Amino acid sequence: MTFPPEKICSRCQQSKPLDDFHKDKNGKYGRVAKCKTCIQEERGSTPMKKKPPVQPGNKWCIHCQRELSLDYFARDQRASDGRVTRCLDCESKAHGYKTRRAYLREIPQDLPPNARYCLACQQIKPIDEFGIQHKPHGDFYRRQCNSCRQIEAKKRYVDNPEYFQNYRNQPARKEKLRIYSKNYYTQNRPRLLVSFRIWKQNNKDTYRAGVQKGRDKNPEGYKRLRVVLAARRRARLRSLPSTLTSAEFQYALDYFDNCCAVCGREPDNDFVLAADHWRSVASGGGTTADNIIPLCHSRKAGSFGGCNNRKGAKDGEKWVRLAFPHLADEILEEIDLYFLTINR
């Protein structure tokens, strides 16, 4: 199809050659309606500078005005030369992230084996400190280490508390989390119990504060829990020997001079003497004279002040060595002597 050599500009109403109009396959004569000069005047910009000639295998970046290798330009099938007009560095600055090639250029060349370079802290760390990112075309190690990702996640949480609160309160999210937690606990119960015991031993104050907070938040639920735990304890006791008499426990009180067998505290308005299973019920210890000793127990509900409160379901000997390391041998010798007198 042949077109006339000139066209009238819709803005300046002048007849100009077709080369003074940008191409447009949908426009009249295959050109836009306004000439190049009018378009430049509307935009308020000067005419674009012509790109200087470049060497074969290179390309000119229109943003930073540099001649770089084609490897510094991302691929673009729509472009005439198959590359975008801005280099990778300019693309990273424009979009606020580092492209893969820009990231690869920052990695040191002499990385040791089984190590990876963290883009955030700019340190070389073992590859085990990097998480794995699952993608359709394969699994890859992340560019940031786990520590940097945790810091970034905490910052996002602090900056957007309402968003995360609303997300957690969604019914579907709660149900999904409940099912996942239940299945995870079922599959890893032995390991989780051991980890919890270690954490509880090293963070007693935090654990007590959490227990007190839960008790204040839901007192009725805590009472029901205590009833359930007591019922479970009684069920265990039914399958264990339970032959302790009042006379036998009174003998234990007289043997220890009506004081706590471990710390020597006397009963008062704040503490009483409780019949403690030296070998806990959970460990198979029965309610018999050779397994019961008097230990001080706080009258205040939920207190951890008395020896009976603090010992809980722990093994007696191990607990004494942890709670009274300097007096453990003397205390255990006296308790063993009492059990010897009972077994005669």
Buried (b) or exposed (e) across 255-279, using 16+ Cβ within 10 A? bbeeebbbbebebeeebebbbbbbb
Share of residues in the chain with pLDDT > 70 (%): 87
Helices (H), the chain: 36-43, 88-95, 100-106, 146-159, 161-168, 171-187, 189-202, 204-217, 219-238, 246-255, 307-311, 316-323, 328-343
Contact 19, 7 (CB under 8 A): no
Interval 134-173: pLDDT, tens: 766 566 788 789 999 999 889 888 988 888 888 888 888 8
Taking the C-alpha atoms of residue 58 and residue 281, their distance in angstroms, rounded to an integer, is 80
In this predicted model, which residue has the larger pLDDT, 110 or 218?
Answer: 218
Rg (CA), the chain: 39
**CA pseudo-torsion sign 22, 23, 28, 29:** positive
Residue 97 has pLDDT above 60, yes or no: no
pLDDT at 46: 52
Contacts of 124 (CB under 8 A, 6+ apart): 108, 111, 112, 115, 116, 117, 118
Give the highest mean pLDDT range of 40-44, 90-94, 238-242, 264-268: 264-268
Instruction: Give the chain's mean pLDDT.
Output: 83
pLDDT at 51: 73
Domains of the chain from N-terminus onward? 6-43 (no CATH), 58-104 (no CATH), 107-159 (3.30.60.130), 209-239 (no CATH), 241-343 (no CATH)
Taking the C-alpha atoms of residue 257 and residue 264, their distance in angstroms, rounded to an integer, is 9
In this predicted model, which residue has the larger pLDDT, 148 or 78?
Answer: 148
Residue 47 has pLDDT above 80, yes or no: no
